[in-house]
Chains A and B, each alone.
Chain A
Amino acid sequence: EPEVTQTPSHQVTQMGQEVILRCVPISNHLYFYWYRQILGQKVEFLVSFYNNEISEKSEIFDDQFSVERPDGSNFTLKIRSTKLEDSAMYFCASSVLDRAQYFGPGTRLTVT
């Protein structure tokens, strides 16, 4: 069964460093998303991406964040200068059109 994959599973970085989180969505899906979940809190929407451009983004997704689909399979989230409060689980998801979203296993980001 096709699934969303994410790498790395755990990333530790120092405050102020840049990180890139990688995702491979399900191959026939057209919409891609990033969500995050701070420990003990709700899953929060960050950004949606369709047809090679951002379709919607949340208030969390400020200028420090960017997304890219560098080739036909990968979808990346970049955080330019990490802060302590960026520590969270980051989930990539994908969907066919406006239907159910399937989540990857997540990347745990720890900012020290």
Chain B
Amino acid sequence: QKEVEQNSGPLSVPEGAIASLNCTYSDRGSQSFFWYRQYSGKSPELIMSIYSNGDKEDGRFTAQLNKASQYVSLLIRDSQPSDSATYLCAGSGGYNKLIFGAGTRLAVHP
């Protein structure tokens, strides 16, 4: 059974701080990983994709992938209250299907 595991949180950080979200996956065959943001009652919104080991930066977001450790992370710098949402980690699980983790709830307080 291919699994993606996330700490459900909530992760609470003060405004302006760095939020660190982590994810592990069981399928060594997974090649692509994605972070989605989901506000309550809304659909997943793509934030970052990462396909190779190392870091990938996009604005305030940095995704990190370590295939040897089967570990993916997302850093959010200068966190804002509008970043408060559930962050979903997803890995490719076969012929283009995504396997999602349960999500980590992030709360950024002023």
Contact = CB atoms under 8 A, between A and B. Distances in A.
Instruction: Give the residue among B45, B99, B100, B102 with the most A Cβ atoms within 10 A.
Output: B100
Instruction: Give the residue among B42, B95, B98, B101 with the most A Cβ atoms within 10 A.
Output: B98
Contacts of A101: 34, 46, 96, 98
Contacts of A104: 43
Contacts of A100: 34, 46, 49
Instruction: Give the bracket for the number of chain A residues in contact with chain B.
Output: 20 to 34
A42 B100 contact: yes
A55 B94 CA distance: 10
Interface residues of B, number: 23
A95 B44 contact: no
Instruction: Give the residue among A44, A45, A48, A102 with the most B Cβ atoms within 10 A.
Output: A45
Contacts of A31: 96
The 4 A-B residue pairs with the shortest CB-CB distance, nearest first, are: A43-B100, A56-B95, A45-B97, A103-B43
Given A45-B93, A103-B43, 16 more contacts: A33-B96, A33-B97, A42-B100, A45-B97, A48-B95, A48-B97, A55-B96, A56-B97, A58-B97, A91-B43, A95-B96, A99-B32, A101-B34, A101-B96, A105-B42, A106-B43
Interface of A: 31, 33, 35, 41-45, 48, 50, 55-56, 58, 89, 91, 95, 98-106
